[in-house]
Amino acid sequence: MQPFDAQYRQAVADILDHGLDQPNPWSGRTPRMLPGITLRVDAEESFPLLALRRIPLKIFIAEQAWFLQGGNDPSWLRPFTKIWDDFLEPDGTVKAAYGYRWSAHFGRHQIEALIAHLTENPASRHGVVVTWDPASDGLGVDAKKNLPCPYTFTVNIAGGRLHLHNIVRSNDMMLGCPHDAAGFALLQAILAQRLGVRPGIYTHSISNAHVYDNHFDAARALVGRAPDHPPIKLALPPHSYDRARAGDAAWVQEVFDGLKAQYQPLEAIKGMEITVNVY
């Protein structure tokens, strides 16, 4: 079993067996949660793409390209997925769009600054990118339809490899976590290629890891699975950072084709509904 599959399956099992039921007044659901869950894999040896069930590949690939473009209008993304349309404000934008927060919201382009800084100072421990805005996010009823779940990540270069630690305040384990882990591990690989190093350890730390009550049956079915899937190796096309930033749809297809050729997951678990809930 792939390392990510094994750790993820154990996390879901721990939540089902030992989690705390926490009624949520905003969604009307009762998720079962555990605090402080961390998944950690060597992304160069085994890309964290879940094989316990089939997940859509092209969505997280295109989403990272949209993030790197730096906008908050999801029009470019719609041919691939309309997942962000649930968070649209009346003006047609996503106010807390990750890419916009990375590139414009805080007065500087954090991703470009990160690349410049690590190019000059590869041993730096200052490689922090922030999505959460303490001036307007959280600590009360928020007027925005979406608040960042992966709210900051840090990047370190050591041993000729780029290591990325993603910090997630809240993760729907059945739908959100596999998508986020694959997406940010893809971002890790893109940044590593741009900086001329190899991908290293991907760490995914979750403050509130939960399974919604309407996903319990699906979660139990998943915990009973044990796929014998060989490690997935991500091979990026050249110039991935520039092509993703430019919104090159052909780049999305090339990354998709490379992963799809290796991806032989167990069958999808159908009927899981997304709970749109920012808290």
pLDDT digits (tens, 9 = 90+) for 218-239: 999 999 999 899 999 999 999 9
Active-site pick, 50, 129, 149, 206: 149
Catalytic annotation present for 177 = no
* Cα three-residue angle 118-121-127, rounded to 5 degrees: 45
Name 228's Cβ contacts closer than 8 Å, sequence gap at least 6. 1
pLDDT of residue 25: 79
Mean predicted confidence (pLDDT) in 123-137: 96
> What pLDDT, on a 0 to 100 scale, did the predictor assign at position 6?
98
Architecture of domain 36-211+232-260: 2-Layer Sandwich (3.30)
8 A C-beta contact, residue 67 and residue 252:
no
For residues 182 and 202, the answer to whether their CB atoms sit within 8 Å is no
* pLDDT at residue 144, rounded to an integer: 74
**What is residue 278's predicted lDDT score, i.e. its pLDDT?**
47
- Tens of pLDDT, residue by residue over 135-180, are 999 998 666 778 999 999 999 999 999 999 999 999 999 999 999 9
pTM: 0.96
Q: What are phi and psi of 171, to 5 degrees?
A: -135, 120
- Give DSSP secondary structure letters for 147-195: --SEEEEEEEEETTEEEEEEEEEEEETTTHHHHHHHHHHHHHHHHHHHH
Percent of the chain with pLDDT over 70: 97
Of 275 and 259, the structure prediction assigns the larger pLDDT to: 259
**How high is the mean pLDDT of the chain?**
95
